[in-house]
A and B are shown apart, each in its own frame.
Chain A
């Protein structure tokens, strides 16, 4: 099945989790996410200086809430989103699987593949869920 945003993540080897596609800059040594075609967003180095570095998809949940209103086309509320630290000092907005009762601030999360439908197509999207163990 097709990935919804293949530029951001890949299925892990066992297919149960997702790994995130970061970039490591040879010039400033910094990790950035996501890996883009444009180069290093930290120091501005050319794209050939940035190489792909897979991130394990583990994240610490900082804050979350439920969106109750359809804010963008194709969205079916309620949707739970939050901010999580996906690498040390790297805070990203993420989408959480299921309802907010499953979550609490500070808990560890794991990026997981979740089937979604977009128009006619079924795809694998990245959602975060409570990490096992």
Chain B
């Protein structure tokens, strides 16, 4: 396999976002154009320089991306819509990165834009029943896992609330985040109980928004005279789940598999990571993934959290954007919003949420099915 370290180097040169928000009358095109224009401005290039686009989108409909580009000038750019459930934006980003790495394009944009759609899932058309009516609802799977770990490893509702409190508080300092209020552990615990010990504030909200990231080659940086600090993408991996072994949820096992793949591709270990954006659709996930990523020993994710390891300024800040719980999870944009946060961290311009001296970051998403995807981004020093 050709790795991103061996292939033509690929850099993120511009990122932009439209605030994630609750369902509204805002047109998707307004949100998408806001993110794309912000990314172009950040990169310091004009739209006609962009040769291809990958649009992560789940709820708008066919050809959402190409229709949006009508309003930026029909330059003839290659345009592909990407649907991979929650990981649609991450997959769009991966495709843009691979295309530039391969040398087929010099400048490509990944855009995630979404409205809260009809949420039709193919599993409902599989025509296979399950014993439990909630068998296809990830929230229930993770709440059961939290229940199991409470007996097995002493994980408490307060541990889950600490994740949510940290992420809501990070989000309160992020102008693009859907939630803007810091939340205490007590407030998180006092919210409506959804299932077991999981409360509503431990779950990501429904919403809408947009995010964009422009990637390019070294040649393009020279040719276009780009002065924005380029952030290199050094690894990209995606896999889907295998049958469950023991009690671990397959998506958790899978998250470990893809992170081991990207660590190997980038030639790093978990100890090298300064900032991580991960799929915290539910608070329990953050604790589990910090373990599977190797940031904390297995079974000790809550201790890593409590010791401040995942706080901004800690060993490796986790979800400084607020994560899915705080920044929001509009599906199509989510994975690209993570790239936005990591690029800002690695460029040292993340304001109040800056992780000191951040050089290496990882973005991780899970998509229904499930699939896991991860990217490593590095500051060139």
Q: Which residues of A contact B (CB under 8 A)?
A: 5, 7-8, 20, 34, 36-38, 62-69, 71-72, 74-75, 79, 81-83, 86, 91-95, 105, 126
Contact = CB atoms under 8 A, between A and B. Distances in A.
Interface of B: 127-135, 137, 139-141, 143-144, 147-148, 151, 192-196, 200, 244, 247
18 contacts: A7-B129, A8-B129, A8-B130, A65-B147, A67-B134, A67-B195, A69-B192, A75-B133, A83-B144, A91-B247, A92-B130, A92-B132, A92-B135, A93-B130, A93-B144, A94-B131, A95-B132, A95-B133
A37 B147 CA distance: 34
A71 B137 contact: yes
Given A65-B196, A71-B137, A93 B247 contact: no
Nearest to A126: B131
A94 B132 contact: yes
B152 to A, nearest CB: 9
B134 A64 contact: no
A69 B135 contact: no
Contacts of B131: 5, 8, 20, 86, 92-95, 126
Contact of B143 (A37, A65, A75): A65
A38 B151 CA distance: 38
Contacts of B132: 81, 92-95
A71 B130 contact: no
Nearest to B194: A69
Centre residue among B131, B132, B134, B194 by max chain A CB count within 10 A: B131
A66 B197 CA distance: 9
Given A36-B128, A82-B144, A72 B193 contact: no
B279 to A, nearest CB: 19
B140 A71 contact: yes
B141 A93 contact: yes
Contacts of A7: 128-129
B247 A62 contact: yes
B148 A62 contact: yes
